[in-house]
A and B are shown apart, each in its own frame.
Chain A
Amino acid sequence: MDPITLYPIGAYQPMPFPAPVWLMETLLVVGFFIHAIPMNVALMGGITSAILLFQGKNKPESYQQRAGKQIAASLPLFTTAAITNGIVPLLFLQILYGPLTYTSSILMAVPWLSVLFLLVIGYYGLYIFNYGQNKLGEKSPWFLLGSSVLFMVIAFFFSNNMTLMLTPEKFLPMYQASPSGMHLNLSEPTLIPRFVHFVLAAVAVTGLAIGSFGLYFKKKDDGYATWLIKTGAGLFLGITLLQTIVGPWFLFTLPGPVQQQFFDVNGAGFMGLNKMASHLFRTSLGLDVIALIAMAIAYVKGSSKAFITGLVSALLLIGAMSEMRHLVRVFSISNILDPNTHAVQPQTEILIIFLVLFVALILYLGWLAKIVHKAYQNK
């Protein structure tokens, strides 16, 4: 049978890619990493800060109140960074996997478009808390909670789209059932474990952010800083222990051939079929263990050094997981769409300009952070 009638997926435009595929894949993964960190805090920071504020409700001087307000004040910044940095992975996702991702987006056009509205409402919810907490009083944390819930809906829609794009066999029946873009990918076995795994990770990353606040306050207020480090480390620790159940749940719902690339029960030492994926998987487990031990020490002792060790391991772990997430996609669709088969003609001049601008941006942001820090120190 004509394969197109089974998998009607789009085609790349008949013009070469502007940069090598490996470079764009790297930018996709790096872009996802720099998006995921602030996005995770923006996603679950609202709930976390609301819980802290509810805990310290009748104790205005409590650490909970102080931390809740400080996290909430930072959330618009994390949200801005999440949106801005989200452009990079989406851009390279569309270049490399456009034929799949445009189609899956169209099938769920209405929920996909609603992401924008949910984002705006949630974003304003954060500002309403920050500018209106004195007027709103005890009710104000509900805005933080509401924003987090809206952001979770967005995350759910993203999980739907990112899984739907990997299953083009669903495209035609879905579209024929309705062309008005009202679908979700609810029948997908990996959907719920993937969503739960990622949302829990967001709580753990929020823990990292709270502990990092502690590092910032270390010289100013040791007692408060230690409390922040212990709270952040504890949050990371608890959630990451929970992930030891959710992680394998997600792993074992992945299609067998995809799983086998990372981990094979029949392989020597459980080595998967793909060397890089297997090493990455093992490295992640190692980093996970280091992060857990370091965070356990930080949780018990409030030690900055232990927290920094845990933080660095956790960031490396997120980096490794970002790459694994990408590999899951590559393995899932390699027999359907392979960007490596498309022609490449590097646009050298603009490629150099882009890379120079990218480095300049990092340096500039560093300088900006320095002058802002200095301004706050002076006051």
Chain B
Amino acid sequence: MSYPVWEVPNIGNGWIIGLIAIFHVFISHFAIGGGAFLALTETLAYKKNDDRIYDYIKKHSKFFLLLTTVLGAVSGVGIWWAIGLANPSGASVLIQNFGLFWGAEWTFFAAELATFLAYYYTMGKMDKKNHCVLAWIYFGISFGTLFVINGILTGMLTNGGWLNAQGNIVGTVYDSFFNPAFWPALAIRLFIMFALAGIYALLTASTIKGQDDLKQYLLRYSAKWMLPGLIAGPLFVVWYMFTLPPATQQVIVSGLSSLGEGNFSMMAKVIFLCIVFATGLIGMVIVGPFLNPKGFNTTFALMLLASGFGFMFTEEWSREMMRKPYVIYNYMYSNGLRKNQIAQVNADGFFKSNAWARAEGATLAKEDTVGHGKLMFRYQCMSCHTATGNGYRSMARLLGERDENAIANLITLMKDNHVILSEESKDEKGNTVITTKAKTPYNGYMPPVVGHQDELDALSKYLVTLSKKGMEAGAEKAEAQMATESAPQSTTTKS
């Protein structure tokens, strides 16, 4: 609510965060799971006293170095960069509230990178036993990075006793950090990390040449890294689901239960795809490197890697969608509006409440309703919608054939997006039962539109210009104007 909106044509600025984040997660999970892989595999090489496994670890570590310390580290910083650009209000809450947690995260991160570099550059130069210990230290420290980020990330969705129902802060930062989803999410991420470590290892093992027995041994060994997730993963996913806010659970359940009717909600589609990728991946690993390591090659390994990416993409995407319409659940909406601000903004007016809208609005003529509406759209809607064309959630496409009245009704409806109606009734035994129901169908999907009535009217007026009818009217108006300007003029003089 206090920052200008970075306008990114076609995809919107949210996807900038999304793309960098998914890319980062796919590498960073490898950096942690891969640490466990290096430690266990080096222990194996040490116990077996097998130099061939050591040679493989050396090659795998180089790949690990080039991928995690460069792309992994930079893309991690990149998420932070992108959040600050696309959602500065959300970023500033995370930074102000969790500033010292980020500081702690940095100490782990710095130690993690230093340890890996020490590990990599002392390979073959240090006593084997001590080098193995270094690998375990690396894994321990990298787990520390996961521990801290997991508390911050899960706290964005299931923030426990940090907030009351009205979105006011009533708890401490520790309530938000050690929130209900902390432990199941930590376990799930760890399983995913082990699985990814196995998938990346399948890729490097697939390139071994001239040592078929070693290659097959390592392929089967790497495939087994899927096992923890396969066995215990579903249990923790169920536990995680039970920790989610009831409204989110309902959105998931209703979305998935309507799959049979072909009525896919977006979230259902993504979760469904995620399940398809996960099961497909497990199936391919069992049939491929685990049961038939002889026939396994690099192309197959790359396919597994692509499926792994598909899984991570959909998993992270669905996790993001579960938070909608909030950026920090029950506290701040994705457009930077805080839940506990709604009444105040409705009373004071949006332009008075938002520094940038106010400053921009002051440069417009008072009667420029469409201009003011455009500013309402920019500061309340553009975090999720593009305006024209076929862009991401483009308003031109979503409004379609709606006319001015329909748009005004829609805006009026959306003003109450946050309102939950409760109804008292008596059950058969005479007990009072309270049932709650969202006032609008957009609850759980979109933030409320806020502001004075004239500001909402201005938004409607602007949206009309984006709709098909508005565009046609605009085009006709422009044509008429051009015709007038280009029409031959004649002057008659009467005497």
Contact = CB atoms under 8 A, between A and B. Distances in A.
Nearest to A364: B111
Contacts of A375: 122, 125-126
A11 B2 contact: yes
A115 B85 CA distance: 13
A8 B100 contact: no
Interface residues of B, number: 69
Interface string B89-105: 10111011111111110
B150 to A, nearest CB: 15
Nearest to A359: B107
B208 interface: no
B11 to A, nearest CB: 13
B122 A365 contact: no
Contacts of B125: 375-376, 378-379
Contacts of A105: 84-85
B73 interface: yes
B117 interface: yes
Given A102-B3, A375-B122, A124 B85 contact: no
Contacts, number: 205
A179 B77 contact: no
Interface string B1-16: 0111111110000001
Interface in B306-339: 338
B76 to A, nearest CB: 9
A347 B84 contact: no
B114 interface: yes
Given A113-B85, A171-B4, A80 B117 contact: yes
Contacts of B71: 120
Contact of B102 (A85, A91, A181): A91
A271 to B, nearest CB: 36
B359 A365 contact: no
Given A123-B70, A361-B111, A375-B125, A15 B81 contact: no
A105 B359 CA distance: 19
A5 B358 contact: yes
B106 interface: yes
A159 B145 CA distance: 30
A23 to B, nearest CB: 10
Contact of A116 (B3, B74, B134, B359): B74
B412 interface: no
A106 B85 contact: yes
B109 interface: yes
Interface in B1-60: 2-9, 16, 20
A354 interface: yes
B420 interface: no
B75 interface: yes
A221 interface: no
B130 A371 contact: yes
A368 B101 contact: no
A377 to B, nearest CB: 10
Contact of A18 (B74, B88, B99, B118): B99
A351 interface: yes
A229 interface: no
Contacts of A175: 4, 356, 360
Contact of B103 (A91, A171, A179): A91
A61 interface: no
Instruction: Bin chain A's interface residue count.
Output: 35 or more
B6 A180 contact: yes
Contacts of B172: 347
Interface stretch (A92-100, A207-215, A236-244, A250-258): A92-100
B3 A103 contact: yes
Contacts of A83: 73-74, 77
Contacts of B101: 350
B169 interface: yes
Interface in A64-85: 76-77, 80, 83-85
Contacts of B247: none
Nearest to B177: A350
B358 to A, nearest CB: 6
Given A8-B358, A18-B96, A116-B75, A357 B107 contact: yes
B95 A98 contact: yes
B122 A80 contact: no
B110 A361 contact: yes
A9 interface: yes
Contacts of A376: 122, 125
Interface in A173-218: 175-176, 179-181
Contacts of B378: 179
Prevailing SS type, chain B contact patch: helix
A85 B114 CA distance: 12
B77 A91 contact: no
Contact of A347 (B9, B114, B173, B338): B173
A351 B100 contact: yes
A171 B6 CA distance: 13
A277 interface: no
A87 interface: yes
Given A5-B362, A10-B88, A347-B173, A127 B103 contact: no
A172 interface: yes
A123 B78 CA distance: 15
Contacts of B440: none
B70 A127 contact: yes
A153 interface: no
Nearest to B131: A375
A11 to B, nearest CB: 5
B82 interface: yes
B99 A19 contact: yes
A179 B169 contact: no
B174 interface: yes
Contacts of B121: 372
Nearest to B82: A113
Nearest to B173: A347
Interface in A322-373: 347, 349-351, 353-354, 357-358, 360-361, 364-365, 368, 371-372
B107 A102 contact: no
Contacts of B85: 105-106, 109, 112-113, 181
B92 A13 contact: yes
Given A15-B96, A347-B100, A372-B121, A109 B73 contact: no
Nearest to A348: B100
Contact of A350 (B66, B100, B113, B117): B100
Contact of A172 (B20, B89, B169, B360): B360
B118 A88 contact: no
B68 to A, nearest CB: 11
Given A13-B96, A91-B95, A375-B122, A102 B84 contact: yes
A224 interface: no
Contacts of B93: 13, 15
Nearest to A107: B4
A80 B73 contact: yes
Nearest to B130: A371
Interface in B357-412: 358-360, 362-363, 378
A350 B355 contact: no
Contacts of B243: none
A25 to B, nearest CB: 13
For the complex of A and B, the 6 pairs showing the least CB-CB separation, nearest first, are: A10-B2, A8-B359, A102-B88, A357-B107, A5-B362, A375-B126
Interface of B: 2-9, 16, 20, 66, 69-71, 73-75, 77-78, 80-82, 84-85, 88-89, 91-93, 95-104, 106-111, 113-115, 117-118, 121-122, 125-126, 130, 134, 169, 172-174, 338, 355-356, 358-360, 362-363, 378
30 contacts: A2-B358, A5-B359, A8-B356, A10-B2, A10-B3, A10-B88, A10-B89, A15-B97, A18-B100, A24-B99, A77-B117, A85-B110, A88-B106, A90-B80, A91-B102, A94-B95, A102-B88, A102-B91, A106-B88, A112-B85, A113-B78, A116-B20, A119-B74, A123-B70, A124-B66, A171-B4, A172-B360, A372-B122, A378-B125, A379-B125
